[in-house]
Amino acid sequence: MGKISKGQKCTVKGCENDALRSINVGKAQAAGLEVEGRTAYLCETHYKIFKKVNKKTSQIEKWRHGI
């Protein structure tokens, strides 16, 4: 039983929705999300934003490393 299944709320400032996923705080802040705490718990809306930004940065990293 994790925190999300227990009803953890989204940790983005100003959001009160239920969390869908948990990610690293550093990655969430790199995506431009204002997160509070050690672990970033994201709702569906904020997770979509994170995925869009992370997709672009991961693609650039792959190109940089020649994969």
Over the stretch 16-67, which tens digit does the pLDDT of each residue have?
999 999 999 999 999 999 998 899 999 999 999 999 999 988 888 899 988 6
Between CA 40 and CA 61 the distance in angstroms is 22
Domain coverage including residue 18: 1-67
Total tally of structural domains belonging to the chain: 1
Between CA 45 and CA 67 the distance in angstroms is 30
User: pTM for the whole thing?
Assistant: 0.84
